[in-house]
Structure 1
Amino acid sequence: MTGGASGTRSLPIGSILLWVVRVALAAEFLYSGYLLFSGGHTEQVFAEIGLGQWLRYVTGVLEVAGAIGLLIPRLGGPSALLLAGVMVGASATELFILANGGPVLPLILLIVCATLAWFLQDQTRALLGIKPPEDDEDDL
């Protein structure tokens, strides 16, 4: 779709909004990953969890990898799904294990990641080689 005499291409507002959400989530998870690798407060939090510091590093790797994946067009859907899974674990940990934590931020991030994953499900299906649902009706 070209616009006017300038020959510029216009993007639908929904596409722009999805990219804004992807970039914002990527920034949040890159920052969170940085905090996990830098130690300090996060060392105490993961000590309270009781599974060892290896979990802090695994979580950091997953968050940074997911953040980078959000910025790669083909990997946006799977990355949002990965980060939603990480936030399920973070929310459960905040609710059931940590005494002084609050699940609000992980739950918000979970909802945003899951919603983004739903909007980008075509990318996930394509990566996994799964046909879209509307193609399944042809098989009947």
Structure 2
Amino acid sequence: MEGSLLTLIDSPDEALLLILKKLDNIEVLYLFIDLNKSFNKLVHDSIFTNHLTMIRCSSNGSFDRLDGHIHDRFCLQILPSIHHNIKWLDVACSSMEDVLLCTSYPNLSGLDLHHIERDIALRIFTDEWFFDVFSFNH
């Protein structure tokens, strides 16, 4: 197995991009960011960073937040390193504050909130922090 990983790492960037495009963006970022210089350059590309779906579809068809360890690494390390590339985020309501407050998103133009209840929506869109995150004039 080790030999096949070395072969993959030594592949041309074009071949690696073709392989990585077949994977989920979240998995690509989680597995390959900071692996080595070549992979780090590839996974910081806008192909993998401009639209992130920070939720998982469960077997019963509902959407859930990412697993704890993955979620934490994204909030602490990955999102701050790619924040300027992110144009769209799909987020579970239960992790929205963590994801939105861990860094700024200067190019964010779209946000999908999943599993949001009416009372939470009212709190979110009337709380000061939401407007500070998006730098709206209010």
Decide: shared fold, TM above 0.5: no
Higher helix share: 1
Structure (1/2) with the larger strand percentage = 2
Normalized against structure 1, the TM-score is what? 0.25
TM-score, normalised relative to structure 2: 0.25
Greater length-normalized contact order (CA 8 Å, ≥ 6 residues apart): 1
